[in-house]
Amino acid sequence: MSSTELISPALRARLRDLRLAPRLAAGGQGLGQHSSRSRGVGLEFAQYRAYAPGDEPRRVDWKLFARSDRYFVRESERDSPLELWLLVDATASMAQADAANPQHSRLAAARTLAACVIELALRQGDHFGLAALSDQVQSFVDLGLGPRQRDRCIQEMLGWQARGNWPAAAQSLPLWERIAPASLVVLLSDGFDEAAIALAQRLAAARREVALIQILTAEERDFPFRGSRRFVDPESDRQVLADPAAARAEYLQAFAAARQALRARLTASGIRLATHFLDQPADAALRQLFGTRPGGEQAWD
């Protein structure tokens, strides 16, 4: 399977107006589409400074020299590539799918979402890497760029299986060795593990720019069940026997309250949240994070 199979032609066409635009200035080296704190030759004018021996004559502003009889050099903001990390929840709960489409699990949706974000990074010349996280699945593709890096990421994702629980804090230490400050981190998860939310908050507190795409089933949203049901937590095997008709109103109220509480908690930590339901197209969630508002302003800002 390739990125072409993960991203349909129609979905690819809808990605055209999306752009990874971090709120923090990027600090990487090289050419990309993001404002950098570094000064030098670039596209966007930053400031003038006095000419110094060794400066290239082509950087002298000769029109300003004609007016002032002094040599000044134009400095610009370098457009630097973004460092993007995709962290994918590969715990057992990510195997869950809707009965109407049992092959399309949370993990399958995460693969498509990750492939879409990679395509945006590839188009912009950004560096990107990814990791799968559970206490039984630990895999990393270190930062790289270009089509070969995309293909490496896709092949790695295809080997993932949803199993186990969220890793202990010590197992997440390799992330801190790889994810530099000011990186953009996109976490793809159902958001049900407290440790996953805590990791997102720690990354944000350490000056990483974090976005969570919460992947939920349509059944969790609508609770369409009939008859007596046994609900099983795939990670703990805890079971609950319930009458869905009697529990539906209480469940939907609690589900809405939990989502609202999560959003408030993440917002307080500077983390953006988008929600992807399994019966919706992938670009709907991406547009919440990386789309543009009617006036052309980035939704991320």
- The confidence score (pLDDT) of residue 25 equals 46
- Contact yes or no for 21/296 (Cβ under 8 A): no
Q: Give the residue-averaged pLDDT of 209-220.
A: 97
Q: Is the pLDDT of residue 161 over 80?
A: yes
Q: What are the residues whose beta carbons fall under 8 Å from the beta carbon of 127, sequence distance 6 or more?
A: 28, 81, 82, 83, 84, 121, 143, 144, 145
Q: What percent of the chain has pLDDT over 70?
A: 77
- The confidence score (pLDDT) of residue 193 equals 93
Of residues 300 and 248, which shows the higher confidence score? 248
- The confidence score (pLDDT) of residue 174 equals 84
d(C-alpha 161, C-alpha 133), whole Å: 11
Tell me the pLDDT band of 70, cut-offs 50, 70 and 90. Answer: confident
User: ∠157-17-146 over CA atoms, to 5°?
Assistant: 40
In order, the DSSP letters of 211-250 are EEEEEE-HHHHH----SSEEEE-TTT--EEEE-HHHHHHH
Tell me the pLDDT band of 54, cut-offs 50, 70 and 90. Answer: low
User: ∠123-125-127 over CA atoms, to 5°?
Assistant: 115
Tell me the pLDDT band of 283, cut-offs 50, 70 and 90. Answer: very high
3-26+81-290 maps to which CATH number? 3.40.50.410
User: What is the 8-class DSSP label of residue 95?
Assistant: G
Helix (H, G, I), strand (E, B) or coil at 196: helix
Q: Is the pLDDT of residue 67 over 80?
A: yes
Q: Which of 3-7, 133-137, 251-255 has the lowest mean pLDDT?
A: 3-7
Give residue limits of the domains in the chain. 3-26+81-290, 34-80
Question: Helix %, strand %, coil % for the chain, to 5?
Answer: 40, 25, 35
User: What is the 8-class DSSP label of residue 48?
Assistant: E
Extract the tokens encoding 209: 């720019």
Q: What is the mean pLDDT of the chain?
A: 84
- The confidence score (pLDDT) of residue 68 equals 85
pLDDT in tens, 140-154: 999 999 999 999 999
